Structures are given as structure tokens and as C-alpha cells.
Amino acid sequence: MKRAFALLAMLTVLIGAGPAAAFEIRPFDQATVAKLVATGKPVVVHVYAPWCLQCRAQEAILNRLSATGQYDDIAFFRVDYDHQKDVVAQFNVPRSTLIAYRGDKEVTRQSWGTSQAWVTNILDAVH
């Protein structure tokens, strides 16, 4: 009985751990993003506010997608809507916006979408 309980406890821990995120969403830094865009690396910028329901839904989708490894070649950055007002003004977008770059060009920007298809559409545009 003790062995069965120990095995069950170990399996619970292993299952609960889940896969680690493959890509990291880093805080937005203008110089870093500009350098990556200039090199041709695909870049996605997420304008995010922690109190925004749409932003949080997009974040959850991005977190799920990070575990797939499918978008590991994209560099992800988050603009803090509440604390980076100058950047938000520069982009001239509302919160809950994803902006995708490939090469030195902006490929697409979209706001307010909360479905996985909506997010993958944006990522696939630069992938």
C-alpha cells in the first residue's frame, strides 16, 4: 500500500510539472527589439496590461503555444501598458495588441483577439 501511494504521489508531481516553456516573453527593450528586427529575426511584441482580460487570454494562449516548440524561432517581447506609456504612444495601439515583425518590416498588428486561431494567425505571419 505504501508503494502504491508513493508511486501515485510521484506520478502526480511529474504530471503536474508539465513541459517547460520553450520560448520566453521578455520585457520590451527598444534597442534589443530594433537590433533583432534589423537582423531579420521574427519578432512579436505584445502590448499587455495585467488587469486586461483580453491580454490575459492572449498570454495564456502564448504560454500554451510556447510548450509546443513550434514558434521557438520567434523573439517575444511584452510592452507594459501601464508603465511604458511612451512605447504604447510610439506604437499608437491599445492594450491587448500583438505586433509582428519579419526582417525590417512590420508584417501585421491586431488588437483584442482572444482565440488560439487569432494568435496563431499572427505568429504564422512571421514564422
pLDDT by residue for the chain (127 residues), tens only, comes to: 544 434 334 433 333 444 444 689 999 999 999 999 999 999 999 999 999 999 999 999 999 999 999 999 999 999 999 999 999 999 999 999 999 999 889 999 999 999 999 999 999 999 9
Total domain count for the chain? Answer: 1
- The answer to whether residue 14 sits within a structural domain is no
- Coil vs helix vs strand at 72: coil
Q: In this predicted structure, what is the pLDDT of residue 55?
A: 97
Predicted local confidence at residue 104, as pLDDT? 85
Task: Please check whether residue 3 lies inside any domain of the structure.
Answer: no
Residue 114 C-alpha cell reads as 482572444
Which CATH number goes with the domain that contains 74?
3.40.30.10
Give domain status of residue 5, yes or no. Answer: no
Range of the domain at 104: 21-126
Does a structural domain hold residue 71?
yes
Q: Please give the full DSSP string across 92-106, using - where no structure is assigned.
A: T--SSEEEEEETTEE
In this structure, are residues 19 and 65 in contact, taking their beta carbons and an 8 Å threshold? no
Q: Which residues contact 91 (CB under 8 A, 6 or more apart)?
A: 45, 47, 79, 97, 99, 109
Within-domain flag for 8: no
- Per-residue pLDDT at 15: 37
Q: Is residue 4 part of a domain?
A: no
Q: What does 19-65 look like in DSSP terms, one character per residue?
A: PPPSS-EEEP-HHHHHHHHHHT--EEEEEE-TT-HHHHHHHHHHHHH
Query: Measuring CA to CA, how many Å separate 47 from each of 25, 79, 87, 97?
Result: 12, 5, 9, 5
Q: Is residue 70 part of a domain?
A: yes
| Helix count and strand count (H, E) for the chain | 5, 5
In a domain, 64, yes or no: yes
* pLDDT given at position 14: 36
